[in-house]
Chain A
Amino acid sequence: MSTTLIEVSEQLSDEEIFELFKDELSKEKAFTILVKKYQERLYWHIRRFVIHHEDTNDVLQNVFIKAWKSLSNFRQESGLYTWLYRIGTNESLTYLEKLKKKRSVSISDEETGMSNRVRAEKGFDINKLEWKLQLAIQSLPEKQRAVFTLRYYDEMPYEKMSEVLDTSVGSLKASYHHASKKVEEFILREN
């Protein structure tokens, strides 16, 4: 039975992928393995920010293209995983900033901002808790949104989140607590 690239990507550690990338002969293959390994996690991380698939796809591709260009200079002080999430978060926030300037609306504005994007998604159903949760997440300020989604969906340890968001563990815990309370209030209010 042949091993697929996805299986290989799951088996190889970040360090092994990085070593392969440094070798000119295996560079492209290593990159493909890296994309396969992290594409889904990063996709959902970005989509929780930008909502639409097309925009998510653009941002995700930018993330990996940036990774391709900078990976040679990557210092292994932080993990490849947190490094990619950091690029993903920054790219998503940059995208939102551009969107904000373009539309001259507050991204956090529930009625005119990202909430409308959620409501416009195929299959949106306000009666379903998973959709209410998406609306609740969009009602959060951007930084809290990042903290909440990284912790809640990706179950990222605070120490790693600290590397991704360049914020102290204590602030992240406080931020997650505030975000959770807001989400809870939003959902109970909607019920």
Chain B
Amino acid sequence: MENNNNILNELNEMDIQLPVSSMPKMKIPEGYFESFSSELLSRIKQDDFLEGLPRTMPFETPSGYFTDLGDKLSKVIQQQSSPDFIDSLPKLMPYEIPSHYFEELPSQIVSKLDLKSTQPLMTLSRKLIVKLSLAATILLFMGLAFKGLVLTSNTSSTNYIIENELAKVSDNEISQYIVSHQSEMDASLALETIDETKLDLKQFETEVLEDALNQITDEEILNYAL
């Protein structure tokens, strides 16, 4: 207590205010100090026992396991900790290709091309010209055929000329012509049944022309143009 007062006095002289008081009451196990030395000795003895045990492990590991472990672990760590695992993968393509493949490929492809198609595709204007030529040809034939039809039905002089011309042709040639042109004959006969007064020639021409043009393929147009 005297010692405690001395410390307080000293602190007061130094003008330091501290809440100096007695140690707080802390509990220790009962008989702790009494048994401390014996417990310490038994611990030392136990350590001595453990020291005497063999430290070798009875387990086996694959040969070279620890040699490769570092590399294996670093790979796994690298793969798992990499911000982008995918970017760490090899971009090398493992597949094989025949030697000189790329050197020969362009010529192989060019040899397979249909070089006919290298002809410039017909422009619209050229296509139009071809179609118009065809149309003009069809119209010309139609006009002649129609005119012929009208002439043969209305003028005696024309009949005379035709009769004279036909007289020069043998019967055998006429029968052969009829057989080989039967379908055209049928069409002509059909045309004769049309009432000319009611016939809209322009409309008729347009329809026939459209039908004819629709039946012509682009390939036929190309062939005709070439």
**A residues in contact (CB < 8 Å) with B:** 5, 24, 27-28, 31-32, 35-36, 39-40, 43-44, 47-48, 51, 53, 57, 60-61, 64-65, 68-69, 72, 121-124, 128-131, 133-134, 152-153, 180, 183-184, 187-188, 191
Contact = CB atoms under 8 A, between A and B. Distances in A.
Interface stretch (B19-27, B87-95, B216-224): B87-95
A21 to B, nearest CB: 10
A3 to B, nearest CB: 16
B164 interface: no
Interface stretch (B34-42, B62-70, B106-114, B201-209): B106-114
B49 interface: no
Given A53-B96, A53-B97, A61-B112, A35 B105 contact: yes
B109 A61 contact: yes
A184 B98 CA distance: 31
Nearest to A133: B89
Given A124-B94, A129-B90, A133-B90, 18 more contacts: A28-B118, A32-B110, A35-B106, A40-B102, A53-B96, A57-B105, A61-B105, A64-B109, A65-B112, A65-B113, A72-B121, A121-B94, A121-B96, A128-B94, A129-B89, A130-B94, A131-B94, A153-B93
B56 interface: no
B105 A39 contact: yes
Residue among B84, B85, B115 having the largest count of chain A Cβ atoms under 10 Å: B85
Contacts of B29: none
Contacts of B89: 129-130, 133, 152, 183, 187
Interface of B: 75-76, 79-80, 84-86, 89-98, 101-102, 105-110, 112-113, 115, 117-118, 120-121
Nearest to B117: A69
Contacts of A5: 106
Contacts of B85: 180, 184
A152 B106 contact: no
Secondary structure dominating the interface of A: helix
Contacts of B102: 39-40, 43
A78 B106 CA distance: 24
